[in-house]
Amino acid sequence: MEMVQDLCRIAAKTRILVYSSHSEWTFARRALQAGAKGYVAKSEGLERVATALGMIARNQIYVSEDVRSRLTERGESEASMSVKPNIDALSNRELQILRLVGNGTSSREIADALGLSIKTVATYCERLKVKFKLGAMRDLQALAREHVEGNS
């Protein structure tokens, strides 16, 4: 899943289909959250791969009917899992911390500059990782750098 995240970060317009032998329910959700546009279990066969590739080429998201119905039962949609929040949806403090992270400021320096505890800064970073569906701090740092570079 980290590779999917990395590819999506490097080439944002890339459309990725995950073809895997792993449990579809468990890994389809994670693949979509990582940025993939579809997931096909190897047990589905190559005809499903062709269907999925066609849907992805038309900017649609592909998951099996079973996964789609389970997501619906849970009140989720495959599209909602693959869309990252808009920067405008962040609180002022979250945006401030995102910019500082993007400038390469350490957590200790952020805490000192904003008069916060280092634990509070870590909590904000965790919230940002959740909002952007990122797994690691390095992913948040990369996204934050892109944000800072895009707004300078």
Q: Looking at residue 71, what is its pLDDT?
A: 73
Place of tokens 């949609």: 77
Which pLDDT belongs to residue 136? 87
Q: What is the pLDDT of residue 87?
A: 74
Owning domain of residue 135: 87-150
Q: How many C-alpha atoms does 60 have within 13 Å on its Cβ side?
A: 9
Which residue in 77, 125, 62 sits closest to 97, CA to CA?
A: 125
Residues 63 and 126 in one domain: no
Please state the domain count of the chain.
2
Q: Look at residue 34 in the predicted model and tell me its pLDDT.
A: 84
Divide the 152 residues of the chain into consecutive groups of 10 and give the mean pLDDT of each group. 86 89 78 89 90 93 84 67 64 93 96 97 94 86 85 58
Report the distance separating Cα 131 and Cα 71, nearest Å: 19
pLDDT at position 33, please? 83
Looking at the fold, whether 53 and 109 belong to one and the same domain comes out as no
Tokens of 55: 């849907």
